[in-house]
Chain A
Amino acid sequence: MAELAQTIEKLKEKFPNAIENVREFRGEYTVQVKPDALVEIGAFLRDDPDCDFNFLSDVSGVDYWPEEPRFGVNYHLLSIKYKQRVRLKVRLKGPNPRVPTVTSVWPGANWFERETFDLFGVTFVGHPDLRRLLLPMDFRGHPLRRDNPTVQEEVQFTHNFDQVDRTKPYAKS
């Protein structure tokens, strides 16, 4: 734990402008960085022999609507040598958020970023193959955004049975 605090201190002195916020909760450190400096900080964390965060375990997206900046992307890093974990966070604005890809630093981010693009609509600039991963190719929209409805079809009870029945697309044959 002490080593992780030292890593964070080192990060803070090397990139004083890029780090927006550092939060510590029960031994877990979350560093919020500016999106432009993400790849540089990632490369530093991977290459520096004291940090050695060579394993990217997750990239996930968050929609904070109606709070601005609206989207967040979290990167969970693990250092196998020192058994430390750290989280990098970026906050992105607007309806079409863009962030540089980290596949050049950790190639395993490829599918994670595809999934985040698929479900949230976050564009990863420089990604080699950014297309949908989980949903069908011709799906329209990004379902995990907060302005999408959570319910696909109205629940059918006895009082609205016929009404739902009429609008349901049954197969003809």
Chain B
Amino acid sequence: MGIEQKLANMGVVTTSLEQAVNWARTNAMWPMLFGLACCAIEMMSAQASEFDMSRFGMELMRASPRQSDLMIVAGRVTRKMAPVLRRLYDQMPDPKWVVAMGDCASNGGVFNNYAIVQGVDEIVPVDVYVAGCPPRPEALIDGILKLHQKVKQEKLATWA
């Protein structure tokens, strides 16, 4: 306690590498634009001014997978779109996370038929599922904050 306080008075902060890196990752996690259907509208409104996602670090959404960390799969994924989604996920550099937004991305939603993939976790590994049809922007932000908590607990050994 003593030495840290003395260092803090001098303007030095001590932490562990894990904490520092995880803090950096969560505070500037840029989502990739992957709005497929109606959930995209709620994702857009979560990014817009009333339910601002930029407060939490998602300042902008990159359309290019090479420049993004987080893929928010917003909407139903058809069987025709599934290989495209996988390809874009593969093109994202590590570290990357996936949020399945809405019921259709989590488990197929109301569409239990030949054309819709029953849950995007058949294609990519999902970290957080956000329920709702569509989930309110606040619910999406809550899901993203849960993801932040999950990332903050990552250990050095499991980094990519």
A contact set with B: CB distance below 8 Å: 134-136, 139, 141, 143, 148, 150-153, 155-156, 168-173
Residues on the B chain within 8 Å of A170, using CB: 121-122, 125
Q: For A151, give its contact among B113, B115, B121 (CB under 8 Å).
A: B113
How distant is A163 from chain B, measured CB to nearest CB, in Å?
15
Q: Does B115 contact A143, Cβ atoms closer than 8 Å?
A: yes
Q: For B108, give its contact among A135, A143, A152, A172 (CB under 8 Å).
A: A152
In the assembled complex, the Cα of A5 lies from the Cα of B123 at a distance in Å of 56
Residues on the B chain within 8 Å of A136, using CB: 79-80
Q: Does B79 contact A139, Cβ atoms closer than 8 Å?
A: yes
B contact set with A: CB distance below 8 Å: 79-80, 107-108, 112-116, 118-119, 121-125
In the assembled complex, the Cα of A143 lies from the Cα of B114 at a distance in Å of 7
Q: Does A153 contact B125, Cβ atoms closer than 8 Å?
A: no
Q: Does A171 contact B114, Cβ atoms closer than 8 Å?
A: no
Contact (A156, B115) CB under 8 Å given A136-B80, A171-B121, A171-B124:
no
Query: Chain A binding site: helix, strand, loop or mixed by DSSP?
Result: loop
Residues on the A chain within 8 Å of B112, using CB: 151-153, 155
Q: For A152, give its contact among B118, B123, B124 (CB under 8 Å).
A: B118
Q: What number of residue pairs across chains A and B have CB atoms under 8 A from each other?
A: 42
Contact (A171, B79) CB under 8 Å given A143-B115, A153-B118:
no
Residues on the A chain within 8 Å of B114, using CB: 135, 141, 143, 148, 152
Residues on the B chain within 8 Å of A150, using CB: 113
Contact (A168, B79) CB under 8 Å given A148-B114, A153-B112, A155-B112:
no
In the complex formed, the residue of A with least CB distance to B81 is A136
In the assembled complex, the Cα of A156 lies from the Cα of B118 at a distance in Å of 11
Residues on the B chain within 8 Å of A155, using CB: 112
User: Can you spell out 6 A-B residue pairs with CB atoms less than 8 angstroms apart?
Assistant: A134-B80, A135-B114, A153-B108, A168-B118, A171-B123, A171-B124
In the assembled complex, the Cα of A148 lies from the Cα of B79 at a distance in Å of 17
Q: For B80, give its contact among A135, A143, A152, A172 (CB under 8 Å).
A: A135
Q: Does B125 contact A172, Cβ atoms closer than 8 Å?
A: yes
In the assembled complex, the Cα of A143 lies from the Cα of B79 at a distance in Å of 13
In the assembled complex, the Cα of A169 lies from the Cα of B123 at a distance in Å of 8
Residues on the A chain within 8 Å of B79, using CB: 135-136, 139
In the assembled complex, the Cα of A150 lies from the Cα of B105 at a distance in Å of 20
